[in-house]
A and B are shown apart, each in its own frame.
Chain A
Amino acid sequence: MQKWRPVLAVAALSVALGTLTACGNDTGTGDTAAAAASGPWSFTDGSGQVVKADKKPTRIIAHAGEAAALLSFGIKPVGVYADEPVKTDPNLKNLDLAGIEILGEEWGKIDVEKAAALRPDLIVGDWWPAEKAHSGMEEGVDEKSKKLADLAPVVGVAQGKSIVALAEGYEDLAESLGADVNSPQIAANKKRFEQAVETFKAATASKPGLTVAAMSPSTEKVYVANPEYAPELLDLQTWGLKVINPASPDPAFPYWENLSWENADTYQPDLILFDGRSFTPTANAEWGTKQPTWFKIKAAKAGAAVSWPAFWLHTYADFATELDKLTQAVKAADPNVGN
């Protein structure tokens, strides 16, 4: 499975992109927000629509990363749906999910019957502008899963131009749901994140010639990520990392440019940001033996590959952790590998 994940990831990229979105699940018991559950409530969804309710929602079903974001502000959903088992989901694997109903552990599949039994009053899932859909309700999911949207209003922050904006959006949502967003833990996470950004900026500034490309090899093709639709890559560009913009992304699915293996060497970065969903310490070497042209990418041949947190980041804490790893990789990278 791990070996094939990239293929899977790509075949299921629409899926994977969907993974981040939270479809409504019924989770938990909503005790956190219960205290504040009064008065009219409204929130501007990532699609631009204003969602209103007579009282503050307390029984929330959220998609994986969105649930993690809400939990970080103390809002406990009654249910979550993930795109992979919650034990391996990068957003959920380290969280205590006791008391939260698991409504799906596979992209595109949500147990809507179970969700309905939780009587949710809000579904939280990212809004994907390229697909014009919330997480869990994109094109290609199980048709039955989409019925989740009939259970309660769906809101989410747009997967737009920055993970920082995404994290801030969920902070706003959590605050509107009654969370105290000024706790010391939250402040500490932000501080750690800001420090991580500073050290990352310093690292990229010291390597002005370094270029990177975000890539996902699969059995039939090599996929090169288009930063335009990957907010974390846009953030990295903002902070001085030269992430290559592929020349001709797939018009139907603009997250990637698809390269046949014959054209694997089209881009020659100094460092490969390797799709984190399929990255393992040995993945680069394995693709080198499986595909005659993978090592024609000079960075791949040099072993210059680092895991890229592809399409899943939602919180300051996770982004800080991932940034620190990227900072190490940038520091270790040789800016003359790719030319």
Chain B
Amino acid sequence: MAMNRRDVLKGMTLSAGSVLLSPILDKLQAQAGGRAITPKRFVFVVESNGVRPEQIAPVGVQRTPRPQQALNGPAEFVDLALADRRLPMSLEPINEFKNRVTIVQGLSGRVCGGGHSNNFQALGAFGAGRGNGGESMAIEGETIDGALARTIPGIFPHIGLGISKRLENNVIYNISAIAANRALPTMCKPDQAYANLFGSVAGGNAQREFAARNNLLDFMREDVGRARTRLAGEEREQLDSYLESFETLRNRQSRLNEIQHTLRERGPVVNNKYTSAVETDRLDAQFDIGAAAIICGLTNVLTISSAAGIRDFDITFRGLGLNIDKHTIGHGGSFQGHTWADLYNMIRRYHFTLIAELARKLDRVREGNGTMLDNTLIVYLSDGAEGHHSRCWEWPMVLLGNVGGRLRTGRYVDYPGYGRQGHRTTANMYVTLLQLAGSNRDTFGMRDQGLRDLDQTGPLTELLA
């Protein structure tokens, strides 16, 4: 982890001339006050149905799924450079970014309930709640995207985009949460998502709509404020939170107003994929919107859900020419001569084409001395952990981005087996992300009782530069 900021500040005051220093000091103070100099951004791409460990190892690296038991892997930490290795078939689309990629294997997430999907638990690293059953929809705490949204809130603290297997699903709640029992929405209709995010500058009537909306919000603030003074205690709190929503919305309007030129210039262009019945079209559109949202500065935390969650995991990717759903594939189903393993790879490869395009878009936008991609981290994982019927003994992930050089990338790493010295969990991964975002937290989610003899706090120091 980087040096303590206050120490840096102190050290610099002593060593450098104050005139020269003042702008730097301003920035450092801003940073010490919780505002980062350049915003860090995080994108989560969550694909349903598990990421098989053997499928994301570089070509030539033998990696089999670990047995479902303690001490299921080697005692050593594996650390290989990607530079002289070929990426596996499904990751080839991000080959051009290979030096910024980290493939992370061997993390466990045993606190989660497992099953076809871990739902909120996947990004939350918490347990399944009452009854401890698999596939629980329990929201025992914040998820990592929710935690980051609170750490580095943008105009929209968190944007959740996704696809559902059902075309009619508009907003669903199944993977992200801002706190216990408070789910964050995943917008499943690209056209609606577009209206919500870029509506302020869309269409000819936009300006007038914008003004009328402002007036409406002002009116509601006054009206709810009036009603709240007539109540006390918890009843008043009910209205307070309603009032606060209008305050937030009004505030956001002002901020959207400030960046309207950016929104106009860099906003996405709506096409017929936005309302397509084909799953892959909608996912394309969501990546399109997501990229634009980040580029326009609407958010610092984006979650893209590819049919994550127990209700949707068995989606069919007809747009890839497949007429077989992911559940059947998970059970070893083949299609037109392709084995289940081929199908897993084909579908993942498609996701990495989208991830690559997102990375390219960010890399084209200059920021500071580099590009936007330099300050962004894309995290790919599955809500179904390591397989179709996850038990969370492993949770493979792929990271793209080095966050201003703070991650040492271009590597394939594999953590020691469950219970061995040096074994780490998804909670440690999430602590790492929080610290990259400027937080000094060193725990996240729930402790794994099965690892009570190991230190479960702190970030994944092995990944840091």
User: Do the two chains belong together in a single complex?
Assistant: no
